């Protein structure tokens, strides 16, 4: 059918009436179209930095109906020539004392209380933390040749007296470029500091007295040499007390320079929270700490999807669309689930906080790379009443880099359950008392939240719709350190109500929702594991479904979600390991035996905050 279109209105919502409206708005559409689809080009110039909603409204010439589309766009600052910090990552390598070095799961990482302080080797700099709390230990005297160097504060106290830290690769760090590395030793010169190191001047450290005056109480001998770009290790001592800290300068011995900032924007300060414009430069995933300005985002998104080159190539080509909220956007076009739209959750739309999107990236050692996008968070009570959460999964051939499956849907987690009482004990929150009536069968997953009075982790087991070819026992995800737990109240009928989401008080500061691990249920069963089979799906190749992934949809439907399964695909991931996040920087998931899950915080520099 041929139809003529006329432009009725074009609104840059919140902008055209603002003090800084766009300079121009232009919509280009064909005068005539054939069929139900019309492709238009929208050009908006002069948008302010940050997030803006842009809405276009079209109607046919006869004005019998209207069509509107709203998109949210981010305008980021223009790129400037800003090189990253000298250091890009660091951790202490921990060898579990219960195992033998080199055995599966024995080699793990630890970053608790480490800090990287760009350009802060100066008198008065705080130089020690314990369980996230600052200690009375400061840099007090710095020789002129080291003034303004970068300082890496290591975790230097009694914990490291055990044999688990007396290994030849204790402190691992990665340099973005060649650098002068200055070892600040609090103990005698060890044998591994050989004659390739040059002796330098001492650096003073001290404490503040009751009068708040800083005095030098000990010195650290210094040794330096130039290290090339890349990853490096320094040995440990296996002795209690402070061992060493490390300073960094440019290879020519000069301090690193502050990175450039686009004109007119707030200047990010290292080791503080980033201005919003820094965050707006990222489309989806970003690290906990910006690698250029070394400022904090206050939340994390799990695995860096670009850590596997074959996944990165698919992201760069657009074959993998990682957009956070892609399924939510489709969900807003349909009343597909009442719980997602409840006003009682403080939302009129499906709109989970961006901070709650987490990624899992892994090589299953069975021929496949996996990338998982999962909307889950533990900072408030909304998770008790929101049954459906966005879930996306991409499978890639680890040898060829071929995309095997790309599936996204809103997974039904069923009722919220009490993890501390029994597997099937439902909560009855005042926000959603109907939770007690939600069925539990094979059409729902499970979500178990612990009480504040009990230990234990929070469990999220998605429902994987068989219409998308899923088979086996699925995957079960565990949040080892939820930010909040349920209060202990019980109503007159004996139901736990979780009428408060209580922040867990943890003396070890291990309560930021950053440690997520998963298992493959039924790994020891003949029909267990997690698989995708094209022959049992409702379609293969490229096709579209509803938001729940259960019914075919025309791809032009407003609630359509695009799916892909390679024709003939039949893959299965099956093992009996715990898949844990190995490091806090790239968050690669690695398999370890159940007896070697040694969790510690991945909260870099203590900078996470709610929501996360």
Confidence of residue 161 (pLDDT cuts 50, 70, 90): very low
pLDDT of residue 477: 95
Burial class (CB in 10 A: 0-12, 13-18, 19+), 571: buried
Q: How confident is the model at residue 46 (pLDDT cuts 50, 70, 90)?
A: low
Q: How many whole angstroms separate alpha carbon 287 and alpha carbon 575?
A: 29
* Average pLDDT, rounded, for the chain: 86
Q: Any idea which residue has 């991931």 for tokens?
A: 573
- Using the predicted structure, report yes or no on whether residue 67 has a pLDDT greater than 60: no
User: Which DSSP category does 134 fall into?
Assistant: E
Alpha-carbon gap, residue 526 to 577, rounded angstroms: 16
Q: Where are the domains of the chain?
A: 2-75, 87-250, 360-606
Tokens coding 301:
């998104």
| Contact between 41 and 27 (Cβ < 8 Å) | yes
584: number of Cβ within 10 Å: 24
Spatial separation of the C-alpha atoms in residues 244 and 120, rounded to whole Å: 17
Side-chain-facing half-sphere of 352: CA atoms under 13 Å: 33
**Residue 7, pLDDT above cutoff 80:** no
Instruction: Report which DSSP code applies to 47.
Output: P
Q: Where are the alpha helices (DSSP H) in 333-407?
A: 382-385
Q: Is 53 within 8 Å of 329 (Cβ atoms)?
A: no
CB neighbour list of residue 558: distance below 8 Å, 6 or more residues apart: 330, 333, 334
Distance CA 438, CA 413 (A): 10
What are the DSSP calls for 448-517, one per residue?
EE-BTTS---EEEE----GGGTEEES--EEEESS-SEEE---B-TTS-B---SEEEPP-TT---SS--EE
Q: What is the pLDDT of residues 315-350, one digit of tens each?
A: 999 999 999 999 988 887 776 655 554 555 655 555
Task: Please state whether beta strands 416-418 and 446-449 pair in parallel, antiparallel, or not at all (unpaired).
Answer: parallel
Reduced DSSP (H G I as helix, E B as strand, rest coil) percent helix, strand, coil of the chain, to 5? 10, 35, 55
6: confidence class by pLDDT, cuts 50, 70, 90: very low
User: For strand 107-110 and strand 214-227, is the pairing parallel, antiparallel, or unpaired?
Assistant: unpaired
Please state, in angstroms and rounded to a whole number, the distance separating the CA atoms of residues 118 and 255: 9
Contacts for 191 with CB less than 8 Å, ≥ 6 apart: none
pLDDT, one tens digit per residue, over 543-600 is 999 999 999 999 999 999 999 999 999 999 999 999 999 999 999 999 988 777 777 8
- 3-class secondary-structure state, position 8: strand
Return the structure tokens found at 443. 């059409």
Q: Worst-scoring range by mean pLDDT, 156-160, 264-268, 434-438, 601-605?
A: 156-160
Burial class (CB in 10 A: 0-12, 13-18, 19+), 455: exposed
């Amino acid at each position: 059918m041929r139809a003529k279109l006329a432009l009725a209105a074009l609104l840059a919502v919140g902008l055209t009436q603002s003090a800084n409206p766009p300079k121009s708005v232009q919509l280009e559409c064909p005068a005539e179209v054939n069929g139900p689809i019309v492709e238009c080009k929208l050009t908006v110039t002069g948008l302010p930095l940050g997030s803006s909603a842009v809405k276009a409204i079209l109607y046919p010439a006869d004005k019998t109906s209207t069509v509107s589309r709203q998109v949210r766009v981010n305008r980021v600052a223009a790129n400037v020539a800003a090189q990253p910090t000298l250091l890009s990552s660091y951790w202490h390598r921990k060898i579990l004392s219960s195992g033998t070095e080199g055995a599966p799961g024995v080699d793990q990482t630890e970053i608790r209380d480490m800090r990287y302080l760009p350009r802060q080797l100066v008198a008065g700099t705080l130089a020690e933390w314990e369980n996230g709390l600052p200690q009375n230990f400061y840099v007090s005297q710095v020789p002129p040749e080291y003034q303004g160097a970068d300082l890496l504060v290591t975790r230097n106290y009694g914990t490291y007296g055990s044999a688990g830290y007396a290994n030849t690769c204790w402190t691992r760090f990665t340099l973005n470029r060649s650098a002068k590395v200055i070892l600040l030793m609090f103990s005698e010169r060890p044998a591994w500091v050989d004659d390739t190191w040059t002796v330098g001047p001492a650096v003073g450290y001290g404490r503040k007295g009751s009068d708040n005056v800083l005095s030098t109480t000990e010195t650290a001998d210094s040794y330096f040499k130039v290290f090339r770009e890349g990853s490096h290790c320094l040995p440990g001592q296996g002795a209690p007390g402070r061992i060493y800290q490390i300073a960094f300068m440019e290879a020519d011995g000069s301090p690193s320079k502050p990175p450039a900032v686009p004109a007119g924007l707030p200047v990010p300060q290292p080791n503080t929270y980033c201005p919003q414009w820094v965050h707006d430069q990222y489309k989806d995933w970003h690290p906990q700490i910006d690698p250029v300005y070394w400022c904090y985002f206050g939340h994390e998104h799990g695995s860096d999807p670009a850590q596997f080159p074959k996944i990165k190539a698919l992201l760069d080509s657009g074959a993998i669309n990682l957009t956070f909220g892609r399924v939510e956007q489709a969900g807003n076009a349909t009343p597909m689930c009442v719980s997602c739209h409840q006003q009682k959750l403080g939302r009129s739309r499906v709109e989970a906080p961006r901070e709650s999107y987490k990624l899992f990236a892994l090589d299953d050692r069975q021929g496949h790379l996996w990338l998982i996008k999962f909307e889950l968070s533990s900072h408030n009570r909304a998770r008790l009443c929101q049954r459906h959460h966005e879930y996306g999964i991409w499978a890639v051939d680890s040898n060829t880099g071929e995309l095997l499956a790309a599936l996204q849907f809103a997974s039904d987690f069923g009722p919220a359950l009490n993890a501390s009482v029994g597997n099937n004990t439902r909560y009855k929150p005042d926000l959603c008392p109907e939770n007690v009536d939600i069925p539990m069968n094979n059409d729902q997953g499970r979500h178990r939240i612990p009480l504040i009075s009990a230990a234990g982790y929070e469990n999220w087991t998605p429902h994987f719709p068989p219409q998308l070819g899923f088979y086996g026992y699925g995957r079960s995800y565990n949040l080892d350190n939820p930010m909040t737990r349920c209060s202990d109240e019980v109503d007159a009928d004996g139901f736990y109500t979780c009428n408060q989401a209580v922040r867990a008080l943890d003396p070890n500061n291990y309560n930021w929702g950053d440690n997520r691990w998963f298992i493959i249920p039924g790994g020891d069963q003949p029909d267990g594991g997690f698989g995708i089979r094209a022959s049992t799906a409702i379609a293969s190749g490229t096709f579209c479904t509803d938001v729940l992934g259960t019914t075919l949809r025309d791809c032009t439907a407003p609630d359509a979600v695009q799916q892909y399964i390679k024709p003939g695909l039949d893959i299965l991931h099956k093992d009996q390991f715990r898949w844990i996040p190995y490091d806090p920087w790239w968050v690669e998931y690695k398999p370890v035996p159940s007896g070697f899950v040694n969790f510690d915080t991945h909260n870099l520099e203590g900078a996470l905050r709610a929501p996360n």
